[in-house]
Amino acid sequence: MSKPFSGAVAAYIGLGSNLDDPIEQVRSARADCAAIPGVRELAFSSLYRSSPMGPQDQPDYINAVMAVATELEAAALLRHLQRIEKEHGRVRTQQRWGARTLDLDLLIYGEQGIDTVELTVPHPGLGQRAFVLYPLFEIAPELVVPGLGRIADLVVNCPLEGLKRID
């Protein structure tokens, strides 16, 4: 993993898709995230296949985690992620954790703990979700997650729950 540019913050983005060619959705979302002004890709995990959370009557997900260096504030980065979700045809329904073409979650933003109406960082599901922890560990095995501790410890305490690496 290369060094972030000076003054930039290291952030981690969780990518997920289970509709309309999920592998291609995640691959092209990677390029879209890397093209955000003030964002540079540092690392990208393998792709993983996971069983859905919540409603089970939906396809499996493709997941990955991306490390970036960014000069954007966390809220501005989130707005770009939401724009990219929309450009990928994300439709927001009433159903929590329903099927979607693309989900981009801001997992970690430097050392910061953020708790506003729009944004909670570190992402609240991070510590329990195999499809986040395993790809994160793959690209940042030394990471200490603010408030949660070492990624290595989080991974050993998290069952795989059917998660499979696919490339």
Residues identified as active-site: 90, 100, 103, 105
Position 97, amino acid: W
| Contact string 48-77 vs ligand ATP (x = CB under 6 A) | ------------------------------
The answer to the question of residue 120 lying near ligand ATP (CB under 6 A) is yes
Strands of the chain (E only): list them: 9-17, 39-44, 48-50, 61-70, 103-109, 114-115, 120-121, 144-145, 149-150, 164-165
For the chain, state the CA radius of gyration: 15
Among 21, 24, 60, 118, binds ligand ATP (CB under 6 A): 118
Among 19, 65, 106, 163, binds ligand ATP (CB under 6 A): 106
For residue 151, give the nearest of 122, 113, 115, 119 by alpha carbon.
122
Instruction: Choose among Mg ion, ligand ATP, none what residue 97 binds, the Cβ cut-off being 5 to 8 Å by kind.
Output: ligand ATP
The answer to the question of residue 121 lying near ligand ATP (CB under 6 A) is yes
Please state the φ and ψ torsions of residue 144, each to the nearest 5 degrees. Answer: -110, 120
The answer to the question of residue 97 lying near ligand ATP (CB under 6 A) is yes
The answer to the question of residue 103 lying near ligand ATP (CB under 6 A) is yes
Contact 63, 48 (CB under 8 A): yes
* Contact residues: ligand ATP, CB under 6 A: 78, 97, 103, 105-106, 118-121, 123, 125
